[in-house]
């Protein structure tokens, strides 16, 4: 924890345009090639994504869906028995909750609010990633923009972000660093890949200690580092906006620079979307931004 606190303090002292400072924090645990500096989003890109975030926020309280949670632990590289739980899911307004929304989960056989199941998770509710580019959040982050490329079905641009916020409960967007894939023209979210802030730096230090540490009978006295990777897919589209369909929370142990061992794998699937209420259709400027040549292709 002391090392993480020192890293956070160091980041706070680095100017946003310093490529050797802020940019170095998210260059990957073992990167050797310097990348362009982290910067605020360009105004023309921020305007589109801010308008899209506002549209997502207006839709946050207008849908319900089914959440299916599957969890499996691993031993020796093999999955153990899987646990499955299902909930009816919707968001409600709550000023005390991250981004102003709280998830309400009820069991399908007890749909009333009296049957609410309190579930505290250590990552943001999936729909809340739609608020990544809201001004209050965006102003605390720095970004790097990649080049347009095609996924199996979409043309997207990757926008990587970095945050210097401390990791507390993990439920706020600002506690994570990662990359968002944004669809051409619509500005819709397609995928989020994220990890807790400063995880790369912590794991690099701990892995170095593990690899060079004292060993007895071939076993290191220093444990290898553990990490988390979160992937959120927005695969369902309704009236011009995408909604989460799959979340994967992968907890792993880094035993070598290129070797991970899975500890647990949790999969959350969202389907059976139902919409209620009426939302005015907005005119969102088309997202056709072309990043400068020195930025394109350098996102993580």
| Torsion, Cα of 162, 150, 68, 247 (10° steps) | -20
Query: Which segment of 1-10, 44-53, 125-134, 252-261 scores lowest on mean pLDDT?
Result: 1-10
Tell me which residue has tokens 């299902």: 86
Inside any domain, residue 44: yes
Higher confidence at residue 2 or residue 202?
202
Residue 2 has pLDDT above 50, yes or no: no
Inside any domain, residue 22: yes
Task: Output the pLDDT for position 17.
Answer: 35
Inside any domain, residue 296: no
Inside any domain, residue 97: no
CB atoms within 10 A of CB 266: 18
Inside any domain, residue 103: no
Task: Output the pLDDT for position 22.
Answer: 33
Q: Which of 2-16, 175-189, 253-267 has the highest mean pLDDT?
A: 175-189
CB atoms within 10 A of CB 51: 17
Residue 188 has pLDDT above 50, yes or no: yes
Instruction: In whole angstroms, give the CA distance from residue 281 to residue 24.
Output: 41
Q: Could you tell me the pLDDT band of residue 165, with boundaries at 50, 70 and 90?
A: very high
Higher confidence at residue 199 or residue 15?
199
Instruction: In whole angstroms, give the CA distance from residue 54 to residue 84.
Output: 34
Q: Residue 176 region, left (φ>0) first, then alpha (ψ -120 to 50), else beta? A: beta
Decide: 125 and 51 in contact? Cβ < 8 Å.
Answer: no
Residue 134: partners with Cβ closer than 8 Å, 6 or more residues away: 50, 53, 54, 57, 99
Q: Which residues pair with 26 in a beta bridge?
A: none
| Percentage of residues in the chain having pLDDT higher than 70 | 80
Higher confidence at residue 21 or residue 279?
279
Degrees to nearest 5, angle at CA 28 with 26 and 32: 110
Mean pLDDT of the chain: 83
Instruction: In whole angstroms, give the CA distance from residue 67 to residue 119.
Output: 12
What single string gives the DSSP state of each residue in 202-256? HHHHHHHHHHHS-EETTEESSPPPEEEEEEEE--EEETTEEE--EEEEEEEEEEE
Degrees to nearest 5, angle at CA 169 with 193 and 80: 65
Inside any domain, residue 89: no
Q: Could you tell me the pLDDT band of residue 139, with boundaries at 50, 70 and 90?
A: very high
Inside any domain, residue 299: no
Task: Output the pLDDT for position 4.
Answer: 42
Decide: 47 and 24 in contact? Cβ < 8 Å.
Answer: no
Residue 124 structure tokens: 């943001």
Full residue range of the structural domain in which residue 41 is found: 2-68+122-275
Task: Output the pLDDT for position 216.
Answer: 66
Task: Output the pLDDT for position 271.
Answer: 97
Q: Which of 20-34, 109-123, 208-222, 242-256 has the highest mean pLDDT?
A: 242-256
Tell me which residue has tokens 């949790």: 266
Residue 147 structure tokens: 């080049």
Inside any domain, residue 207: yes
Residue from 203, 194, 171 nearest 247 by CA: 194
pTM, entire model: 0.81
Report the domain count for the chain: 1
Task: Output the pLDDT for position 99.
Answer: 85
Task: Output the pLDDT for position 79.
Answer: 67
Higher confidence at residue 66 or residue 204?
66
Task: Output the pLDDT for position 230.
Answer: 97
CB atoms within 10 A of CB 14: 19
Higher confidence at residue 127 or residue 253?
127
pLDDT tens digits along 71-89: 877 776 666 777 899 999 9
């Amino acid at each position: 924890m002391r090392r993480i606190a020192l890293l956070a303090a160091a980041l706070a002292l680095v100017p946003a345009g310093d490529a050797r400072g802020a940019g170095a924090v998210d260059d990957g645990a073992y990167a050797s090639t310097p990348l362009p500096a982290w910067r605020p989003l360009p105004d023309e890109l921020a305007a589109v994504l801010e308008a899209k975030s506002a549209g997502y926020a207006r839709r946050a309280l207008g849908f319900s869906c089914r959440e299916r949670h599957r969890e499996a632990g691993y031993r020796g590289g093999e999955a153990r028995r899987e646990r499955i739980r299902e909930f009816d899911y919707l968001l409600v307004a709550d000023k005390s909750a991250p981004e102003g929304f709280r998830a309400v989960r009820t069991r399908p056989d007890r749909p009333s609010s009296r049957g609410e199941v309190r579930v505290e998770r250590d990552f943001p509710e999936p729909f809340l990633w739609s608020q990544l580019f809201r001004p209050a959040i965006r102003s605390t982050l720095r970004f790097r923009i990649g080049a347009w490329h095609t996924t199996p079905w979409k043309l997207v641009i990757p926008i990587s972000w970095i945050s210097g916020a401390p990791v507390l409960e993990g439920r706020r967007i600002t506690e994570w660093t990662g990359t968002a894939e944004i669809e051409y023209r619509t500005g819709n979210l397609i995928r989020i890949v994220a990890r807790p802030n400063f995880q790369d730096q912590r794991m690099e230090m701990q892995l170095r200690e593990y690899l060079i540490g004292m060993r007895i009978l071939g076993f290191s006295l220093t444990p290898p580092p553990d990490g988390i990777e979160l992937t959120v897919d927005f695969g369902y589209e309704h009236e011009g906006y995408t909604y989460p369909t799959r979340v994967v929370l992968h907890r792993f142990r880094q035993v070598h620079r290129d070797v991970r061992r899975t500890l647990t794998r949790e999969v959350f699937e969202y389907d059976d979307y139902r919409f209620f209420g009426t939302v005015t259709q907005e005119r969102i400027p088309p997202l056709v931004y072309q990043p400068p040549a020195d930025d394109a292709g350098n996102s993580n």
